[in-house]
Structure 1
Amino acid sequence: MPYHRTRGCGAGDRRGRRDRGQVAIEYLGFLPVLLVVAMAAVQLGLIAYTAQQAGTAARAGARSASLEEAYGYACTAAVSDWLADGTDCGAAEGGDAVSVTATVDIPSIVPGWDFGPARKTATMPMDH
């Protein structure tokens, strides 16, 4: 006997409406998982970007220090404006070379989580 779908208040119509509601509830239950995965992806991107910025700052600072200029300004200026407040640079001279270490605070999108700073060091020969 073939199945005929009827319009109105038949059993098939009620089941279809219930299924649509069930899918909406399942989606709402899965939404927090999707949000956590998205936040983790954004946080990993921020960590990688901050590490890249620390490397750029260390190279700029070492370049300036090798020319016997103020390395602190060059180091901080090489970092994006929104990361510059959490940037610290230190230099160590060792004869014919100078090393600059840049420390940049990693921003967190999750309140209360601290990922620490990204540290990168660059060494350049002194320009005599």
Structure 2
Amino acid sequence: MRGTPRTRPGRLRGDRGVSSLELAGYLPVLLLIAMAALQLGLVGYGANQAGTAARAAARAASQHGDGAAAGTAAVSSWLDPAVSAPTGPETTTARVTVHVPSVIPLLGDGWDVVREATMPTDRLSADD
């Protein structure tokens, strides 16, 4: 038995590199899952930013200020916010649309997230 090389029982010599090959096969799937999780986080962040901007715009416009400027200042500029905050006689409703870019290739240009907020309009006093 001295002249024969020893091998581990149950493992053939031709199994070398199989783990690396399996990893190479699963790597695209793992990357796709990671990018999908990142995309989901970006959409959640965009929805949060749009809601914050809508509340800020409605608050400013209900007090007869510049709601569009307040809404734009409350959101990250890379989300490309579009703010509309017309002051109404009883209530002021602000509408903010932000564009969330796509991280995953072949899914298009991204998504628009829209949020609205309504606040009562402050009445101007006789001194104003």
Q: Kindly report which structure 2 residues correspond to 1:15-94, keeping only aligned pairs within 5 A, or say none.
A: 15-16=12-13, 18-83=14-79, 86-94=80-88
Structure 2 length-normalised TM: 0.82
Give 1:34's aligned amino acid.
L
Q: Secondary structure at the match of 1:63?
A: helix
* 2-structure distance, mates of 1:110, 1:11: 46
Aligned residue pairs, count: 121
Q: When you count helix as a share of all residues, which structure comes out higher?
A: 1
- Deviations 1:60-90 (CA, angstroms, capped at 9, x unpaired): 000000110111110011002322xx11011
Deviations 1:84-120 (A, max 9, x none): xx11011244321100000000121134523321000
4+ residue runs of structure 1 moved beyond 3 angstroms? Answer: 8-14
Percent identity over the alignment? Answer: 45
5+ residue gaps, structure 1: none
Aligned partner of 1:117 among 108, 112, 124: 112
Stretches of structure 2 that go unaligned for 5 or more consecutive residues are: 124-128
Measured in 2, the distance between the counterparts of 1:40 and 1:81 equals 23
The separation in 1 between residues aligned to 2:56 and 2:100, in whole angstroms, is: 19
